[in-house]
Amino acid sequence: MSLSAGEMRQKVLEIIAPWKGRRGGLIPILQALQGLMGYVAEPAVKIVSEELKIPMSEIYGVATFYAQFHLTPRGRHIIRVCRGTACHVRGSLKILEAVKEQTGCPENGTTEDLRFSLEPVACLGACGLAPVMLVDSQTFGRLTPEGVSGILAQFV
Amino acid sequence: MPIYRAHVLVCNGTGCSSNHAGAVTAKLKTELERQHLSNEVLVVPTGCHGMCEMGPVVVVYPEGTFYCQVKEDDVPKLVEEHLLKGRPVDALMYKGKETTAVPNYKDIPFYGKQNRIALQNCGYINPENIEEYIARDGYVGLAKALGEMSPQQVIDEVKKSGLRGRGGGGFPTGTKWSFCAASPGPKKYVICNADEGDPGAFMDRSILEGDPHAVLEGMAIGAYAMGADEGYIYCRAEYPLAIVRLHQAINKAEEYGLLGQNILNSGFNFTLHIKEGAGAFVCGEETALMASIEGQRGMPRPRPPFPAVSGLWAKPSNINNVETWANVPQILSKGGDWYASLGTEKSKGTKVFALTGKVKHTGLVEVPMGIKLREIIFDIGGGILNDREFKAVQIGGPSGGCLTKDQLDTPITYESLPPLGAIMGSGGLVVMDEDNCMVDIARFFLEFTQRESCGKCTPCREGTKQMLLLLEKICSGKGEMKDIDLLEELGNMVKNMSLCGLGQTAPNPVLTTLRYFRHEYEAHIKEHRCPAGACQALLSYTIVQTACKKCGLCAKNCPVQCIPGGRTEGYTIDAEKCIKCGTCFTKCPFNAISKG
């Protein structure tokens, strides 16, 4: 979502408002920022830092500690290939390689045309369907390397 | 309240949903409408039924007919035959070994040995309807605690039950509660650890999605016993459905006066909040989890002080995991003695396991403590996929260990596993067959723990990194025999000197595989060979000329064109050019390609 600077400031202030004078808000705020823009953008973080009097370094420390937060823009579609144990023993590495080959997307990276971001994840909890991947919010199970391209073609 | 002559329960857990259970549910509703049965038959979306492999699962009551792998196109037949004409559809039923249809789920071996307590409502009720939970004796335990018992009596009852921490630690729950209850101060917290991060584990998610009120009730009972008036559920953001269900459940419970101010007119107040985790495995450790709730980096801190004395916001706090909390309501309503009658002398009650990997029936199983691994894998799980040879089972996730067929008859208890090098853990059971390389598995787990190490203490941060490098060296065929000794030394150092549970248990998969599968390590090092054929760098493919029919499929499919030859002279693999992708091996219809 592209927002003008004024709009963004307005939205960020709305996100911060319930947390003024309360503790424990940093992670929910970062989650909301990411929900708003798709990633944790520096200009938005500056507003949070000034308004809540939290040093930028501390916010950076928290944002980089957790796997959930991204500091750069991400693709339109997020591919999460499960690399959990159950998927691993049923061949998820080959699925991951097929996805990398099909999309040209590096692990934990984004394609240049911003079509896909690729994130291997520790477990999607759908072990009965191993190997599994999630594209946006759709789960695909019992994958084969050959079946990957047909699935990815649905996401433009 | 309208009365229905039949209920159709459709599993809407994550596993079945991924298999289009949503479309099946919608189709059921439209078909019932079309057959004018909407007033007689009710469709109930439920939580996980456990048998994820056979999803989507549909159960028709009052008969309890179990249908599996139901597709949208099967629905018209199911509605017309079973619900209109009263003739169950054999074709959609579970087929046992004899390929005869098994109509009732209780007769399916997968369910036969189970005893569902924590999972008693999962798959039976609509988790979004509090009244269905209440109808199954929900909130009876809380009413009993608030109405008839003092906080001390509640703690005594939990102590009597023998319940121990189901997150893996196995610390006696009643004793833990008594520490927090004894801490002075007007402000205390109870916390539910729903940051289920072990790869291959999904029991907590199924409880949260399938029976959220059991967790809320358990926490309210605990809060009353310990004198807390506020609680947090720390749930992984990767579990969106669980978070939605928890929010709904809390709102409903508040509306019904079962949470919030003056619960059941007893004067007891309890407010619950949900905190979404942000993706860090270490936050499953209780001090790290509390740091994360406070909005900081999730790093553990040394204990003492224990959370019972100084926890969240430096106030006395008590943390239990989802499964532990979900057991509490029934302990209160049915009594500690009832719970203690299940299981073994020191490990009471039941435990939920997530059975996955190379086993025929993957899914969630709840069994009495003391059951043997063999019973879970072969009786409940139906044995190894494709009737391959059982090799090992990884118990307890990345913190646990790999056990072999020699240990299949060990009863599973908190005490029996540590001497073997494994732990109960949160309940992941990953089954492996002869195609899985144990060195590769050890490397896989260490890759995970090394990545998830928070970096605060040196033994864990540096030790796991060095161990991983050694394992990668061995997997690529460059290992030396002294690397094995070094791995063992480093493993013991990391285990003994790390600050928190993550580091203290991270070496377990390496140490157990070294203990039980040392010959596989040695084969990698001395013979430059991976006995399971899993480590790519050590593989070589050759064509067995006697079995080859010269069809040319291998050459046609080879991505790097390294199989020269023709239909008359036959084919050979150019080992220099081969990238060991295994395409020829999988494409050959005559099994004429050998891997080794």
The two three-digit tokens of residue B275, written as one number:
């905190």
Residues 6+ apart with CB under 8 A from A91: A131
Does the pLDDT of residue A64 top 70, yes or no? yes
In this complex, the residue of A62, A89, A127 whose CB is nearest that of residue B432 is A89
Q: Phi, psi (5° rounding) for residue B179?
A: -65, -45
| Chain A residues with CB-CB distance to B444 below 8 A | 85, 88
pLDDT at residue number A2: 65
Name the burial class of residue B308, with classes exposed (0-12), middle (13-18) and buried (19+) by CB atoms within 10 angstroms of its CB. Answer: buried
SS (H, E, C) B462-499: HHHHHHHHHHHHHHCCCCCHHHHHHHHHHHHHHHHHCC
- In chain A, which residues have their Cβ closer than 8 Å to the Cβ of B397? 85
Q: Is A28 an 8 Å CB contact of chain B?
A: yes
3-class DSSP assignment, residue B398:
helix
Edge to edge, what strands does the sheet with B428-433 contain?
Answer: B363-368, B350-357, B428-433, B390-395, B401-404
What is this structure's pTM? 0.90
What pLDDT shows up at residue B97?
67
Measure CB to CB from residue A128 to each of B52, B278, B436 and give the nearest one: B52
- B354 touches A at CB < 8 Å: yes
User: How many CB atoms within 10 Å of residue B465?
Assistant: 15
Strands, E, within A4-142: which ranges? 77-82, 109-110, 116-121, 133-135, 138-140
d(CA B114, CA B116): 6
> At CA B151, angle to CA B150 and CA B154, rounded to 5?
90
Does the beta-carbon distance from A141 to B19 stay under 8 Å? Answer: yes
Please state the φ and ψ torsions of residue B528, each to the nearest 5 degrees.
50, 50
* pLDDT (0 to 100) of residue B99: 63
Report in angstroms the alpha-carbon separations of B316 from A65, B259, B495.
26, 21, 29
Beta-carbon count within 10 A of A108 CB: 11
CB pairs under 8 A between A and B: 124
CB-CB neighbours of B148 under 10 Å? 10
- Return the residue of A nearest to B360 by Cα: A128
Flag residues of chain B having pLDDT under 70. 97-99
Which residue in A has a C-alpha nearest to residue B204's C-alpha? Answer: A125
Q: Does B238 touch chain A (CB under 8 A)?
A: yes
Interface test with B, best of A123, A136, A138 (most B CBs within 10 A): A123
Give the residue among B435, B406, B440 at the shortest CA–CA distance from B422. B406
Q: What is d(CA B189, CA B108) in angstroms, rounded to the nearest whole number?
A: 43
In chain B, the N- to C-terminal Cα span, in Å, equals 67
Query: Which one of A29, A65, A136 makes the best mutation probe of the B interface by having the most chain B beta carbons within 10 Å?
Result: A65
Q: Cβ neighbours of residue B101 under 8 Å, at least 6 residues apart?
A: B90, B91, B93, B94, B95
Q: How many percent of chain A have pLDDT more than 90?
A: 66
Distance CA B357, CA B376 (A): 13
pLDDT over 70 (residue A94): yes
Q: Which residues are within 8 A (CB) of B279 and not within 5 positions of it... i.e. 6 or more apart?
A: A66, A67, A68, B236, B237, B238
Instruction: Note the pLDDT tens digit of each residue in A2-50.
Output: 678 889 999 999 999 999 888 889 999 999 999 888 899 999 999 999 9
Please state, in angstroms and rounded to a whole number, the distance separating the CA atoms of residues B174 and B167.
15
Rounded Cα distance, B278 and A7, in Å: 26
Distance from C-alpha of B155 to C-alpha of A47, rounded to nearest angstrom: 48
Chain B CB contacts of A66 below 8 Å: 278-280, 298
Name the residue among B278, B331, B312 with its Cα closest to residue B117. B331
Reference B276, options B200, B207, B195; nearest CA is B195
Question: What's the pLDDT at A138?
Answer: 83
- Cβ-contact A79, A134 below 8 angstroms: yes
Across the interface, do B202 and A24 touch by the CB < 8 Å criterion?
Answer: no
Selected residues 387-416 of chain B with any CB under 8 Å from a CB in chain A: 394, 397-398
Q: Which of A107, A113, A115, A108 is nearest to A76 (CA)?
A: A115
Put simply, the chain B residues between 69 and 88 with a CB less than 8 A from any chain A CB are: none
Cβ atoms of B439 and B209 closer than 8 Å: no
Instruction: Report how far apart, in Å, the C-alpha atoms of B95 and of each of A120, B101, B356, B383, B505 are.
Output: 36, 5, 20, 15, 41
Q: Which of A65, A123, A129 sits opposite B18 (nearest CB)?
A: A129
Are residues B213 and B139 in contact, defined by beta-carbon separation less than 8 angstroms?
yes
Which is nearest to B265 in space by CA: B425, B163, B143? B143
- Which residue blocks in B498-547 are alpha helix, DSSP H? 501-505, 508-516, 518-526
> Measured between alpha carbons, how far is B233 from B219 in angstroms, rounded to an integer?
9
A97: exposed, middle or buried (Cβ count in 10 Å: 0-12, 13-18, 19+): middle
CB contact under 8 A, B444 and A139: no
The DSSP-derived string for B255-302 is HTTSSEEEETTTTEEEEEEEEE--S-GGGGSHHHHHHHHTTS------
Residue of B53, B200, B240 with shortest CB distance to A123: B200
**Closest Cα of chain A to B552: distance in Å?**
20
Residue of A nearest to B312 (CA): A24
Residue with tokens 């907590």: B204
Q: How far is B565 from chain A (nearest CA, A)?
A: 26
With CB atoms and an 8 Å threshold, state whether B428 touches A62. Answer: no
Give the residue from chain B lying closest to A22, CA to CA.
Answer: B294
Q: Which residues of A touch B297 (CB under 8 A)?
A: 61-62, 65
Give A144 to chain B, closest Cα distance, Å.
12
d(CA A118, CA A80): 6
Burial class (CB in 10 A: 0-12, 13-18, 19+), B401: buried
Give bridge partners of residue B190 from the DSSP assignment: B231, B318
Q: Indicate the residue of A24, A89, A122 with minimum beta-carbon distance to B430.
A: A89
CA distance B448 to B357: 17
Mark yes or no for CB contact A123/B197 under 8 Å: yes
How high is the ipTM of this complex? 0.84
Residues 38..97 of A with a Cβ closer than 8 Å to B: which? Answer: 61-62, 65-69, 83-86, 88-90
Of B200, B294, B452, the CB nearest to A24: B294
Is B118:B74 a contact under the CB 8 Å cutoff? no
Q: Which are the contacts of A19, defined by CB distance < 8 A and separation ≥ 6?
A: A25, A28, A29, A52
The sign of the CA dihedral B496, B499, B502, B503 is negative
> Could you write out the DSSP letters of every residue in B101-161?
EE-BGGGSHHHHT---STTTTTTTS-TT-HHHHHHTTTTHHHHHHHHH--HHHHHHHHHHH
Q: Which residues of B fall within a CB distance of 8 Å from A86?
A: 199-200, 356-357, 362, 430
Contact B502/B449 with Cβ under 8 angstroms?
A: yes
